[in-house]
Amino acid sequence: MNHNVLITSVGQRVALVRCFQDTLRHFFAEAKVYSTDMNPEYAPAAYISDGCFKVSRVTDSQYIDQLKMICIDNKIGMIVPTIDTELLILAEHKSDFEEMGVFVSISSREFISICRDKRNTGAFFEQHNIRVPKSIDKNNPSFPFFAKPYDGSLSTNLHIVMTPDELTKELVKDPKLLFMEYIDSNIYKEYTVDMYYGLDNKVKCIVPRERIKIRAGEINKGITEKKPLTQFLYDRLETIAGCVGSICLQVFLNPDTCDVIGIEINPRFGGGYPLAYAAGANYAEFLIRELFLGEQLEYTDNWKDHLLMLRYDDAVFV
Protein backbone atom coordinates (compact mmCIF):
# COMPACT_ATOMS: atom_id res chain seq x y z
CA MET A 1 0.00 0.00 0.00
CA ASN A 2 1.20 3.52 -0.85
CA HIS A 3 1.31 5.92 2.10
CA ASN A 4 2.03 9.28 0.46
CA VAL A 5 -0.67 11.96 0.79
CA LEU A 6 -1.77 14.54 -1.79
CA ILE A 7 -3.44 17.77 -0.60
CA THR A 8 -5.20 19.49 -3.51
CA SER A 9 -5.69 23.23 -4.11
CA VAL A 10 -3.21 23.80 -1.31
CA GLY A 11 -2.88 27.60 -1.59
CA GLN A 12 -2.10 29.09 1.83
CA ARG A 13 -2.88 25.97 3.90
CA VAL A 14 0.59 25.77 5.43
CA ALA A 15 -0.67 24.61 8.84
CA LEU A 16 -2.72 21.79 7.30
CA VAL A 17 0.30 20.56 5.31
CA ARG A 18 2.46 20.56 8.45
CA CYS A 19 -0.25 18.73 10.37
CA PHE A 20 -0.24 15.91 7.82
CA GLN A 21 3.56 15.87 7.55
CA ASP A 22 4.13 15.58 11.30
CA THR A 23 1.39 12.98 11.73
CA LEU A 24 2.19 10.86 8.68
CA ARG A 25 5.89 10.57 9.51
CA HIS A 26 5.05 9.36 12.99
CA PHE A 27 3.53 6.27 11.35
CA PHE A 28 5.56 6.02 8.12
CA ALA A 29 8.94 7.73 8.39
CA GLU A 30 9.62 7.87 4.65
CA ALA A 31 6.13 8.98 3.56
CA LYS A 32 5.63 12.34 1.83
CA VAL A 33 2.91 14.97 1.76
CA TYR A 34 2.57 16.38 -1.74
CA SER A 35 0.23 19.08 -3.01
CA THR A 36 -1.35 20.58 -6.11
CA ASP A 37 -2.22 24.13 -7.08
CA MET A 38 -3.07 26.11 -10.19
CA ASN A 39 -0.17 28.47 -9.43
CA PRO A 40 2.39 26.65 -7.27
CA GLU A 41 4.91 29.46 -7.57
CA TYR A 42 2.52 31.75 -5.66
CA ALA A 43 1.14 29.20 -3.18
CA PRO A 44 2.95 29.42 0.19
CA ALA A 45 1.94 25.89 1.20
CA ALA A 46 3.43 24.55 -2.04
CA TYR A 47 6.91 25.30 -0.69
CA ILE A 48 6.14 23.69 2.66
CA SER A 49 4.87 20.44 1.12
CA ASP A 50 7.30 17.80 -0.11
CA GLY A 51 6.53 18.72 -3.70
CA CYS A 52 3.78 20.65 -5.46
CA PHE A 53 2.34 19.92 -8.91
CA LYS A 54 0.72 22.44 -11.20
CA VAL A 55 -2.78 21.43 -12.32
CA SER A 56 -5.61 22.92 -14.36
CA ARG A 57 -8.67 24.53 -12.84
CA VAL A 58 -10.82 21.94 -11.08
CA THR A 59 -13.59 22.45 -13.66
CA ASP A 60 -11.23 21.63 -16.55
CA SER A 61 -11.90 18.35 -18.35
CA GLN A 62 -8.25 17.32 -17.84
CA TYR A 63 -8.22 17.86 -14.07
CA ILE A 64 -9.08 14.32 -12.97
CA ASP A 65 -6.63 12.75 -15.44
CA GLN A 66 -3.91 15.05 -14.15
CA LEU A 67 -4.59 13.96 -10.58
CA LYS A 68 -4.51 10.29 -11.60
CA MET A 69 -1.09 10.68 -13.22
CA ILE A 70 0.24 12.52 -10.17
CA CYS A 71 -1.02 9.67 -7.96
CA ILE A 72 0.63 7.01 -10.12
CA ASP A 73 3.94 8.83 -10.49
CA ASN A 74 4.23 9.70 -6.78
CA LYS A 75 2.75 6.61 -5.09
CA ILE A 76 -0.16 8.50 -3.56
CA GLY A 77 -2.41 6.57 -1.18
CA MET A 78 -4.72 9.37 -0.06
CA ILE A 79 -6.12 12.59 -1.56
CA VAL A 80 -7.30 15.38 0.76
CA PRO A 81 -9.38 18.07 -1.01
CA THR A 82 -9.62 21.56 0.47
CA ILE A 83 -11.96 23.74 -1.62
CA ASP A 84 -15.70 23.57 -2.27
CA THR A 85 -15.57 23.64 -6.07
CA GLU A 86 -13.64 20.36 -6.37
CA LEU A 87 -15.78 18.29 -4.01
CA LEU A 88 -18.51 17.12 -6.37
CA ILE A 89 -16.18 16.16 -9.20
CA LEU A 90 -13.88 14.24 -6.83
CA ALA A 91 -16.87 12.47 -5.28
CA GLU A 92 -18.00 11.42 -8.76
CA HIS A 93 -14.59 9.88 -9.45
CA LYS A 94 -13.95 8.48 -5.96
CA SER A 95 -14.41 4.88 -7.09
CA ASP A 96 -12.00 5.41 -10.01
CA PHE A 97 -9.27 6.44 -7.57
CA GLU A 98 -10.08 3.57 -5.21
CA GLU A 99 -9.54 1.12 -8.09
CA MET A 100 -6.05 2.63 -8.32
CA GLY A 101 -5.49 2.10 -4.59
CA VAL A 102 -6.02 5.78 -3.77
CA PHE A 103 -8.56 6.79 -1.14
CA VAL A 104 -10.17 10.22 -1.55
CA SER A 105 -11.09 11.69 1.83
CA ILE A 106 -14.50 12.83 0.73
CA SER A 107 -18.16 12.22 1.48
CA SER A 108 -20.73 10.84 -0.94
CA ARG A 109 -21.98 12.90 -3.85
CA GLU A 110 -25.45 12.94 -2.27
CA PHE A 111 -24.23 14.43 1.00
CA ILE A 112 -22.00 16.97 -0.77
CA SER A 113 -25.00 18.07 -2.84
CA ILE A 114 -26.85 18.78 0.40
CA CYS A 115 -23.96 20.89 1.66
CA ARG A 116 -23.28 22.80 -1.55
CA ASP A 117 -26.87 24.11 -1.85
CA LYS A 118 -27.88 25.99 1.29
CA ARG A 119 -31.55 25.34 0.52
CA ASN A 120 -30.86 21.64 0.93
CA THR A 121 -28.66 22.31 3.96
CA GLY A 122 -31.52 24.07 5.72
CA ALA A 123 -33.83 21.12 5.12
CA PHE A 124 -31.12 18.77 6.42
CA PHE A 125 -30.74 20.75 9.65
CA GLU A 126 -34.49 20.78 10.21
CA GLN A 127 -34.71 17.03 9.63
CA HIS A 128 -32.15 16.63 12.42
CA ASN A 129 -33.97 18.93 14.83
CA ILE A 130 -31.61 21.89 14.40
CA ARG A 131 -33.25 25.27 13.91
CA VAL A 132 -32.39 27.38 10.85
CA PRO A 133 -32.93 31.12 10.27
CA LYS A 134 -36.53 31.97 9.44
CA SER A 135 -37.18 32.75 5.76
CA ILE A 136 -37.97 36.35 4.82
CA ASP A 137 -40.40 37.28 2.02
CA LYS A 138 -38.34 39.61 -0.17
CA ASN A 139 -41.52 41.19 -1.54
CA ASN A 140 -42.84 41.95 1.94
CA PRO A 141 -39.78 41.88 4.19
CA SER A 142 -39.35 42.64 7.85
CA PHE A 143 -36.15 44.45 8.77
CA PRO A 144 -33.35 43.82 9.47
CA PHE A 145 -32.65 40.68 7.47
CA PHE A 146 -29.73 38.80 5.95
CA ALA A 147 -29.21 37.73 2.33
CA LYS A 148 -26.70 35.24 0.96
CA PRO A 149 -26.34 33.04 -2.16
CA TYR A 150 -27.56 29.47 -1.87
CA ASP A 151 -24.31 28.19 -3.43
CA GLY A 152 -21.84 30.69 -2.04
CA SER A 153 -18.53 30.23 -0.25
CA LEU A 154 -15.68 32.32 1.18
CA SER A 155 -18.22 34.75 2.67
CA THR A 156 -18.86 36.45 -0.69
CA ASN A 157 -22.03 38.27 -1.82
CA LEU A 158 -23.37 38.54 1.74
CA HIS A 159 -25.74 41.37 2.66
CA ILE A 160 -27.16 42.72 5.91
CA VAL A 161 -30.19 44.84 5.03
CA MET A 162 -31.12 47.05 7.96
CA THR A 163 -33.70 49.41 6.42
CA PRO A 164 -36.02 49.57 3.37
CA ASP A 165 -33.66 52.08 1.75
CA GLU A 166 -30.91 49.44 1.67
CA LEU A 167 -33.07 46.92 -0.19
CA THR A 168 -32.01 47.58 -3.79
CA LYS A 169 -33.62 46.26 -6.97
CA GLU A 170 -30.41 44.32 -7.67
CA LEU A 171 -30.79 42.38 -4.43
CA VAL A 172 -34.45 41.61 -5.04
CA LYS A 173 -33.77 40.41 -8.60
CA ASP A 174 -30.73 38.29 -7.76
CA PRO A 175 -32.03 34.71 -8.26
CA LYS A 176 -29.30 33.17 -6.10
CA LEU A 177 -29.95 35.14 -2.93
CA LEU A 178 -31.74 33.62 0.04
CA PHE A 179 -33.46 36.10 2.36
CA MET A 180 -33.51 35.10 6.00
CA GLU A 181 -33.73 36.15 9.63
CA TYR A 182 -30.90 38.39 10.81
CA ILE A 183 -28.95 36.83 13.66
CA ASP A 184 -27.79 39.60 16.01
CA SER A 185 -24.09 39.13 16.88
CA ASN A 186 -24.68 41.01 20.13
CA ILE A 187 -26.95 38.18 21.24
CA TYR A 188 -25.59 35.12 19.45
CA LYS A 189 -22.04 33.78 19.27
CA GLU A 190 -20.83 32.27 16.00
CA TYR A 191 -19.11 28.88 15.98
CA THR A 192 -17.39 26.64 13.49
CA VAL A 193 -17.53 23.01 14.52
CA ASP A 194 -14.87 20.61 13.22
CA MET A 195 -16.35 17.12 13.06
CA TYR A 196 -14.82 13.83 11.94
CA TYR A 197 -16.88 10.96 10.56
CA GLY A 198 -15.48 7.47 10.19
CA LEU A 199 -15.97 5.05 7.32
CA ASP A 200 -19.06 3.82 9.18
CA ASN A 201 -20.60 7.33 8.82
CA LYS A 202 -20.57 7.79 12.60
CA VAL A 203 -19.09 10.84 14.28
CA LYS A 204 -15.77 10.25 16.05
CA CYS A 205 -14.94 13.76 17.28
CA ILE A 206 -16.67 17.14 17.64
CA VAL A 207 -14.70 20.35 18.29
CA PRO A 208 -16.68 23.61 18.46
CA ARG A 209 -14.62 26.77 18.25
CA GLU A 210 -15.99 30.26 18.71
CA ARG A 211 -15.22 32.62 15.84
CA ILE A 212 -14.07 35.64 17.83
CA LYS A 213 -12.72 37.48 14.80
CA ILE A 214 -13.07 36.69 11.09
CA ARG A 215 -10.87 37.88 8.24
CA ALA A 216 -11.69 37.15 4.58
CA GLY A 217 -14.28 34.59 5.65
CA GLU A 218 -11.84 32.60 7.79
CA ILE A 219 -11.30 32.52 11.53
CA ASN A 220 -8.52 34.84 12.71
CA LYS A 221 -9.09 34.60 16.45
CA GLY A 222 -10.94 31.70 18.05
CA ILE A 223 -11.29 29.51 21.11
CA THR A 224 -12.39 25.91 21.60
CA GLU A 225 -15.47 25.36 23.73
CA LYS A 226 -17.01 21.99 24.63
CA LYS A 227 -20.30 23.02 26.24
CA PRO A 228 -23.09 23.02 25.23
CA LEU A 229 -22.60 22.36 21.50
CA THR A 230 -20.66 19.09 21.69
CA GLN A 231 -23.46 17.09 23.29
CA PHE A 232 -26.16 18.98 21.38
CA LEU A 233 -24.64 18.02 18.02
CA TYR A 234 -23.75 14.48 19.06
CA ASP A 235 -27.37 13.83 19.99
CA ARG A 236 -28.60 15.04 16.59
CA LEU A 237 -25.80 14.14 14.19
CA GLU A 238 -24.30 10.96 15.60
CA THR A 239 -24.74 9.32 12.18
CA ILE A 240 -24.94 11.01 8.76
CA ALA A 241 -25.46 8.84 5.70
CA GLY A 242 -22.59 9.25 3.23
CA CYS A 243 -20.53 11.48 5.50
CA VAL A 244 -16.84 10.57 5.71
CA GLY A 245 -13.78 12.40 7.01
CA SER A 246 -13.48 16.00 8.19
CA ILE A 247 -16.40 18.41 7.85
CA CYS A 248 -17.15 21.76 9.45
CA LEU A 249 -20.50 23.22 10.50
CA GLN A 250 -21.36 26.88 10.96
CA VAL A 251 -23.81 27.55 13.78
CA PHE A 252 -24.96 30.39 16.03
CA LEU A 253 -25.51 29.91 19.76
CA ASN A 254 -27.40 32.10 22.20
CA PRO A 255 -25.43 31.48 25.41
CA ASP A 256 -28.35 32.62 27.59
CA THR A 257 -31.11 30.49 26.06
CA CYS A 258 -28.90 27.78 24.40
CA ASP A 259 -30.82 28.38 21.17
CA VAL A 260 -28.75 26.88 18.32
CA ILE A 261 -29.19 27.94 14.69
CA GLY A 262 -27.60 25.93 11.87
CA ILE A 263 -26.18 27.96 8.99
CA GLU A 264 -24.11 25.78 6.67
CA ILE A 265 -21.99 22.65 6.32
CA ASN A 266 -18.67 22.41 4.50
CA PRO A 267 -17.77 18.75 3.81
CA ARG A 268 -14.00 19.30 3.94
CA PHE A 269 -11.28 20.53 6.29
CA GLY A 270 -12.18 24.04 7.44
CA GLY A 271 -9.73 26.90 7.21
CA GLY A 272 -9.60 27.12 10.99
CA TYR A 273 -9.05 23.41 11.57
CA PRO A 274 -5.48 24.02 12.87
CA LEU A 275 -7.07 25.20 16.14
CA ALA A 276 -8.81 21.84 16.59
CA TYR A 277 -5.53 20.09 15.72
CA ALA A 278 -3.61 22.14 18.29
CA ALA A 279 -6.27 21.21 20.84
CA GLY A 280 -5.55 17.54 20.25
CA ALA A 281 -8.18 16.56 17.67
CA ASN A 282 -5.83 15.07 15.07
CA TYR A 283 -8.05 14.23 12.10
CA ALA A 284 -5.01 13.46 9.95
CA GLU A 285 -4.19 10.69 12.41
CA PHE A 286 -7.80 9.46 12.24
CA LEU A 287 -7.55 9.18 8.44
CA ILE A 288 -4.23 7.36 8.62
CA ARG A 289 -5.46 4.92 11.24
CA GLU A 290 -8.65 4.17 9.31
CA LEU A 291 -7.37 4.12 5.74
CA PHE A 292 -3.75 3.00 5.99
CA LEU A 293 -3.88 0.85 9.12
CA GLY A 294 -7.43 -0.49 8.87
CA GLU A 295 -8.34 0.45 12.45
CA GLN A 296 -11.85 1.11 13.75
CA LEU A 297 -12.20 4.40 15.59
CA GLU A 298 -14.19 5.13 18.72
CA TYR A 299 -15.73 8.48 19.63
CA THR A 300 -13.43 10.76 21.63
CA ASP A 301 -13.70 14.17 23.27
CA ASN A 302 -10.14 14.10 24.58
CA TRP A 303 -9.12 17.55 23.42
CA LYS A 304 -8.27 20.83 25.16
CA ASP A 305 -11.19 23.03 26.12
CA HIS A 306 -10.77 26.82 26.01
CA LEU A 307 -7.65 26.79 23.83
CA LEU A 308 -7.24 30.24 22.28
CA MET A 309 -5.83 30.74 18.77
CA LEU A 310 -4.47 34.14 17.67
CA ARG A 311 -3.41 34.08 14.03
CA TYR A 312 -0.91 36.42 12.40
CA ASP A 313 0.66 36.88 8.98
CA ASP A 314 3.90 35.09 8.12
CA ALA A 315 5.84 34.82 4.89
CA VAL A 316 7.63 32.31 2.68
CA PHE A 317 10.69 33.66 0.86
CA VAL A 318 11.67 31.93 -2.37
What's the confidence (pLDDT) of residue 155?
Answer: 58
- Residue pLDDT tens, the chain, 318 long: 899 999 999 999 999 999 999 999 999 999 999 999 999 999 999 999 999 999 999 999 999 999 999 999 999 999 999 999 999 999 999 999 999 999 999 999 999 999 998 889 999 999 999 999 988 887 888 888 888 887 765 556 788 888 888 888 888 878 888 888 889 889 999 999 999 999 999 999 999 999 999 887 789 999 999 999 999 999 999 999 999 999 999 999 999 999 999 999 999 999 999 999 999 999 999 999 999 999 999 999 999 999 999 999 999 999
Same fold, 4-106 and 112-130+186-310: no
Dihedral sign for Cα atoms in the order 309, 313, 314, 318: positive
SS (H, E, C) the chain: CCCEEEECCCCCCHHHHHHHHHHHHHHCCCCCEEEEECCHHHCHHHHHCCCEEECCCCCCCCHHHHHHHHHHHCCEEEEECCCHHHHHHHHHCHHHHHHCCCEECCCCHHHHHHHHCHHHHHHHHHHCCCECCCECCCCCCCCCEEEEECCCCCCCCCEEECCHHHCCHHHHHCCCEEEEECCCCCCCEEEEEEEEECCCCEEEEEEEEEEEEEECCEEEEEEECCCCHHHHHHHHHCECCCCCEEEEEEEEECCCCCCEEEEEEECCCCCCHHHHHHCCCCHHHHHHHHHHCCCCCCCCCCCCCCCEEECCCCCCCC
Domain map (residue ranges) of the chain: 4-106, 112-130+186-310, 145-181
- pLDDT tens figures, 215-252: 877 899 999 999 999 999 999 999 999 999 999 999 99
First and final C-alpha spacing in the chain: 34
What are 108-129's pLDDT values in tens digits?
A: 999 999 999 888 999 999 999 9
Residue (of 277, 236, 199) closest to 16 by Cα position: 277
What pLDDT, on a 0 to 100 scale, did the predictor assign at position 265? 97
**Who contacts 242 (Cβ-Cβ below 8 Å, separation ≥6)?**
107, 108, 109, 110, 111, 201
CATH for 4-106 is 3.40.50.20
The upper half-sphere exposure of residue 283, i.e. CA atoms within 13 Å in the direction of its Cβ, equals: 27
How far is residue 67's CA from residue 9's CA, in Å, rounded to a whole number?
Answer: 11
**What pLDDT is stored for residue 220 in this prediction?**
92
Name which of 84, 76, 8 is nearest 46 in CA terms.
Answer: 8
**Does CATH number 3.30.470.20 belong to domain 112-130+186-310?**
yes
Position 147 scores a pLDDT of: 87
Distance CA 271, CA 43 (A): 15
